[in-house]
Amino acid sequence: MTTPQSWEARADEYSLYGFTDLPSVHQRGAVVLTHGEGPYVVDVNGNRYLDANSGLWNMVAGFDHKGLAQAAKDQYDRFPGYHAFFGRMSDQTVMLSEKLVEVSPFPRGKVFYTNSGSEANDTMVKMLWFLHASEGKPEKRKILTRWNAYHGVTAVSASMTGKPYNSVFGLPLPGFIHLGCPHYWRFGEAGETEEQFTARLARELEETILREGVDTIAGFFAEPVQGAGGVIPPSKGYFQAILPVLKKYGIPMIADEVITGFGRTGNTWGSETYGFVPDAIISSKNLTAGLFPMGAVILGPELTDRLQAAIDVIEEFPHGFTASGHPVGCAIALKAIDVVMNEGLAQNVIDLAPRFEDGLRQLAQNPNIGEYRGVGFMWALEAVRDKATKTPFEGHLSVSERIANTCTDMGLICRPLGQSIVLCPPFVMTPAQMDEMFEKLDKALGKVFAELA
């Protein structure tokens, strides 16, 4: 119920919302924000919210980091924009590529820039198609991902995404194959141990490769922790089980580290946290601490050499975006990497992760919380009607939306995802702010579960 000419009414009249539960927004009105302070954001009515989602995972340094804003202003004064075509690029672009290879798990490599994570995944797929074709295998085009994966929204990355909502677009495109989601609590079968579950997923991968034909598969993409699928860490030994299968058949393994990169799991990379080295890394979101739209494909040595050889044949890689390697974005990313890795932000994630987990463990004693899961500063609580049988709440009750809306009313932003609540706060969160998050969440859970009892 919004007043005519209010910010909420104007938002609704002239803007289309992405990924938004419309009945809920029409009833409550959009939240229109003006600015932020640390991990808090403030709306047009002066309400203050602790944003336990870092915007959309990306505002890891909070909403008013002076050094980052200054790096942007300085670069706008120095050289406010340029492209990376025709053999030209800004000095900032050169420096960021050096930095990204330096902080990558690769001894050497090369970087290609995009404006988003979706475009970085599309770019990687085109690179694979291009290099396989150049190596005389043009039919090596199929892409393997997993159910509940989120790789983006452009036509290719949406096809990689393993969510049912893309059927409204007639996606996935042909040749995009989804394997099992490594969520043991939800998908483990009766009597199956976690190790057996992991082994089953590795077998499924091998059977799929053999069924489809090795020579039809271009690559395998995985998030180290599935993010928008509901914060799903891999089952025990998952990457150690599937990597040898991929290696055996020579299939490139691409880590989509758009969320897990730069400190979210405690280490620079999620792949580091889970003990594996991919063939390439996709980065975005916190690459610029959310201050600039930017994505990057970081190729390890083998893919660098193979792609370079393919490019040398036709003397051009016919791909790129107008703003690829934008100097302001690169200057911000250089500063963001420094701030996150060297100014104590990643360290704060490591220091506070045990406190985070303790808080969740306590909340999970609630009979309507089935599971808490996550790592570092990315966690989810999953609501259930019945804990013993893991039976979800009836879909029409929109349990997670109710919890999130109740939190919003209390000044806490968290995200409903399926039947789960996602918490992925900025890395600048203090212990006191973490306590505030848990107090509000506890109250909201109590209120909503009482209503639905």
Q: Which residues form the interface with ligand PLP (CB under 6 A)? A: 116-118, 121, 150-152, 223, 227-228, 256, 258-259, 284-285
For residue 410, with 0-12 CB atoms within 10 Å meaning exposed, 13-18 middle and 19 or more buried, which class applies?
middle
**Residue 391: DSSP 8-state:** B
Beta carbon of residue 259, minimum distance to ligand PLP (angstroms, whole number): 4
Q: Give min distance, CB of 114 to ligand PLP, in A.
A: 9
- Contact between 63 and 37 (Cβ < 8 Å): yes
Shortest Å, Cβ 37 to ligand PLP: 25
- Two structure tokens written together for 314: 């036709």
Report the residue number, 75 or 286, with the smaller CB distance to ligand PLP: 286
Q: Is there a contact between 274 and 43 (Cβ–Cβ < 8 Å)?
A: no
Measured from the CB of residue 410, what is the shortest distance to ligand PLP in angstroms? 27
E strand intervals along 72-118: 110-114
Residue whose CB is less far from ligand PLP, 232 or 399: 232
**CA quadruple 362, 365, 366, 369: dihedral sign:** positive
Residue 116 vs 324, nearer CB to ligand PLP: 116
Count the neighbouring beta carbons within 10 Å of the beta carbon of residue 66: 8
Q: Residue 418 CB, nearest distance to ligand PLP (Å)?
A: 15
The CB-of-2 to ligand PLP minimum distance in angstroms stands at 28
CB atoms within 10 A of CB 133: 15
From the CB of 446, what's the least distance to ligand PLP, in Å? 31
| Minimum CB–partner distance for residue 33 and ligand PLP (Å) | 19
Beta sheet of 369-375, edge-to-edge order: 369-375, 378-383, 420-423, 415-417
Closest approach of ligand PLP to the CB of residue 231, in Å: 11
Residue nearest to ligand PLP (CB): 117
Q: Which SS3 state, helix, strand or coil, does residue 204 take? A: helix
Taking the least distance from each CB to ligand PLP, the nearer of 151 and 402 is 151
With CA atoms as reference, report the closest residue to 285 among 329, 241, 321, 250.
329
Name all contacts of 19-24 with Cβ < 8 Å and 24+ positions apart. Answer: 21/398, 21/401, 24/398, 24/401, 24/405
Owner of token pair 């004064």? 77
Q: Report the residue number, 256 or 371, with the smaller CB distance to ligand PLP.
A: 256
Residue 259 or 298 having the CB closest to ligand PLP: 259
Q: Which is nearer to ligand PLP, 8 or 256 (CB)?
A: 256
One-letter amino acid of 161: T
Instruction: Look up residue 262 and give its amino acid.
Output: F
**Would you say 2 or 148 has its CB closer to ligand PLP?**
148
**Residue 308 and residue 299: Cα distance in Å, rounded?**
11
**Cα-based distances in Å from 328 to 71, 72, 261, 313:** 8, 6, 20, 33
Q: Which is nearer to ligand PLP, 2 or 118 (CB)?
A: 118
Tell how strand 420-423 and strand 378-383 pair up: antiparallel
Between 117 and 418, whose beta carbon lies closer to ligand PLP?
117
Task: Please state the closest distance from residue 266 (CB atom) to ligand PLP, in A.
Answer: 17
How many residues appear in the chain? 453
First-residue to last-residue Cα distance in the chain: 27
